[in-house]
Amino acid sequence: MSKRQESELAAHGFFWEEGLHFPLTKKENSSLVAAALEEDDTRHDITTAATVVSNRRARCRLVSRQSGVISGLPLACEAFEQLDPAVTMRVEHPDGARVAPQTPVMFLSGHARGLLSAERVALNFVQRLSGIATMTARYVDAIAGTGAHILDTRKTTPLLRRLEKYAVRCGGGLNHRMDLSSSVLIKDNHLATEYGDIALSVKRARELAPAGMKVEVECEKLDQVRAALDAGVDVIMFDNMQLLELREAVKLVQGRAVTEASGGVTIDTVRLIAETGVNWISIGALTHSAPALNLGLDFD
């Protein structure tokens, strides 16, 4: 991404990463994983206690059963470490790496009971986040060369937003606003309370929002796009527009605002949407419908 594109994204209240940075602090990571281990009652793993000698040691590897993009390894490492502080781990393919089927992602050695009891929690985190990263990468690859960017939405699992948006970045996507305070996005239901008056809604938003905060308006029809332009908005979201209407909307804007397509985007249609000239394509499915990546723990 060019420095100019980075500046544009930052100026409009959107988030990108120059490289990847895990979003949780060590304390946050530890607390989240501890809660997940407690939920699974890993301290009372009856099956493992009954079948594995207490001092047995084991070696295993985390393997990707299918091609995809890895995300969430710090959570998995924390899970194994909490149940066996002496565990040794070697990561071969870190978060953001693309892997082929049957690729060993990391190797572990430690107490067998700890490895077995932490297995499901570790896999749940990594499979979920890697699934998001993998789906994102598919969309990013599909629009390569068009100049458009793939963005996520706020359709995330409650309390896991930072992690799921991090997974989007692992897959090469960008983050839309992180929360309701990050930027102004006036949607159809906001307009409904003001009788569809875009100008009034934008005026009130600029009066209340912090200085410099950008304002975006969701538009379903071309007359709304014209009204948004007249109101001087910074970003215009074209909601569920067909391709012909999208092209007309982009032509109408003529670079006077950042343009975003949203609604009904699929892997089969995303490139056609990108080729209309929109700047951004936001896809809720990245975080609410991504299938888990098939990973497993194989013991020697």
Q: Which residues are catalytic?
A: 120, 155, 187, 218, 239
**Cβ 113 vs Cβ 54: under 8 Å:** yes
- Which residues lie across from 297 on neighbouring strands? 62
- Within a 13 Å sphere around the CA of 188, how many CA atoms are in the beta-carbon half? 7
Q: Please give the single-letter amino acid code of residue 259.
A: T
CA distance 183 to 107: 42
**Cβ 108 vs Cβ 61: under 8 Å:** yes
Listing DSSP states for 135-193 in one string gives HHHHHHHHTTTSS-EEE--S---TT-HHHHHHHHHHTT-BB--SSTTTSEEE-HHHHHT
Closest CA to 220 of 262, 185, 281, 256: 262
Q: What is the largest CA-CA distance in the chain?
A: 73
Pairing of the two strands 88-91 and 57-64 = unpaired
- Residue 268: Cβ within 10 Å count: 8
